[in-house]
Amino acid sequence: MLGVFSSSIVSPPDELVAAGSRTASPKTTAAALWKRFQEKNASTVSVEIGEHVHLAYTHHNESPFQPRSFAVKDEVFCLFEGVLENLGHLRQQYGLGKSANEVLLVIEAYKALRDRAPYPVNHVVGHLKLILF
């Protein structure tokens, strides 16, 4: 999974600033990094949102126990890898239908937390990685 965001969207943590960016050598642009990911990975799914956000993932070498998926709902983008152990319970808690998968549930959980609903994030149990924008 790859998520590249412009500094106009979010400032990177100091720990993630590449040492090369503080030297005279040029750093890799977001577009070049995104293109390299697409070239090196088979069957890449990629999304470009203006010039500020690049998201990409591939199903190549994907573990059946850690599937990758992407969804957009109400202008919330989520790139998700993993599985939720209590998906059935969470569907019921968030009022979602049986067809709702992990990535849609993560979006709904984010929206509930954003809107300050009384659903603590510690109810989400599983092995997962995600990029939420």
Per the DSSP assignment, residues forming a β-bridge with 3 are 55
- Cα-based torsion angle of the residue sequence 104, 106, 111, 116 in order, rounded to the nearest 10 degrees: 150
- Determine if the pTM surpasses 0.85: no
Task: Give 40-50 pLDDT, tens digit per residue.
Answer: 887 888 888 77
**Up-side HSE of residue 94: CA atoms within 13 Å toward CB?**
26
15-24, 44-53, 62-71, 108-117: least confidently modelled range: 15-24
Assign 13 to helix, strand or coil: coil
Task: Give 43-73 pLDDT, tens digit per residue.
Answer: 888 888 777 777 888 888 888 888 888 888 8
User: Between β-strands 44-49 and 2-5, what pairing exists: parallel, antiparallel or unpaired?
Assistant: unpaired
